[in-house]
Amino acid sequence: DAKTTQPTSMDCAEGRAANLPCNHSTISGNEYVYWYRQIHSQGPQYIIHGLKNNETNEMASLIITEDRKSSTLILPHATLRDTAVYYCTPSGGSNYKLTFGKGTLLTVNP
Amino acid sequence: KAGVTQTPRYLIKTRGQQVTLSCSPISGHRSVSWYQQTPGQGLQFLFEYFSETQRNKGNFPGRFSGRQFSNSRSEMNVSTLELGDSALYLCASSPGQGAYGYTFGSGTRLTVV
């Protein structure tokens, strides 16, 4: 399984951009990078995924380095409700599973 | 549309008993996965089913089993419960083919006493 490394915690001021990094240097060529977040005691929520190109949706943007060994999730205007644990997880091919690490606890401060 | 539904939400069982948890995926989703979440081990993959076939299995003992029905609904069973099985059990569904994000349910909180 591809291993991921994320900061244990990060802080962000409300209204500012939150940039969450993830290192996935052992990612396979056919694996996508998925990002999820989990608010306390709820099920994880899908945010975004990408293979090679940068991606954007209504929730966030995903920047993947050219060598695919790392990525950054960007929440453009963080709100208090974005306080959660954020996970990046490579998945794809014949894997059919998500491998979660410890994730990053993002705290958005007023 | 309705999300992933897991029942029951909470469950208390005694050591040695068995338990069955249920998951109804989003309509049209053919893949159902199960995860166990504990404070010590975090989120761990149990198994994944697609069209009634198990496509992948995590590193859990044989006491943990699952199945999927023709309507894509899934159940997981844990036999001979141990205290360490106390956890939040999460079910997730996806279309099953192609690169799609999984939609998770709210989970079943199992407490073994």
The tens-digit pLDDT sequence of chain B (113 residues) is 689 999 999 999 999 999 999 999 999 999 999 999 999 999 999 999 999 999 999 999 999 999 999 999 999 999 999 999 999 999 999 987 777 889 999 999 999 99
End-to-end CA distance of chain A: give it in Å, rounded: 38
Chain A residues 81-100 with a CB less than 8 Å from chain B: 87, 92, 94-100
CB A81 within 8 A of CB A75: no
List of chain B residues whose C-beta atoms are within 8 Å of the C-beta of residue A87: 43
- Short-list B77, B66, B69, CA closest to B25: B69
Cβ neighbours for A6, distance < 8 A, ≥ 6 positions apart: A20, A21, A22, A23, A86, A87, A88, A101, A102, A103, A104
Contact in structure between A6 and A84 (CB atoms under 8 Å): no
Asked if B108 and B88 touch (Cβ cutoff 8 Å), the reply is yes
The per-residue pLDDT for range A12-51, each reduced to its tens digit, is 999 999 999 999 998 888 889 999 999 987 999 999 999 9
Predicted local distance difference test score (pLDDT) of residue A29: 85
Q: What does the pLDDT read at residue B60? A: 97
Residue of B nearest to A31 (CA): B99
Q: What number of residues does chain B have?
A: 113
Nearest chain A residue to B33 by CA distance is A97
B20 forms beta bridges with B77
What is the pLDDT, as a whole number, of residue A28?
Answer: 86
Q: Which two tokens stand for residue B6?
A: 């897991």
Cβ within 8 Å of residue B99, ≥6 positions away: A32, A49, A51, A92
Contact between B109 and B11 under an 8 Å Cβ cutoff? The reply is: yes
A7 token code pair: 């900061």
Q: What is the pLDDT of residues A70-87, one digit of tens each?
A: 999 999 999 999 999 999
- In total, the C-beta contacts within 8 angstroms joining chain A to chain B are 58
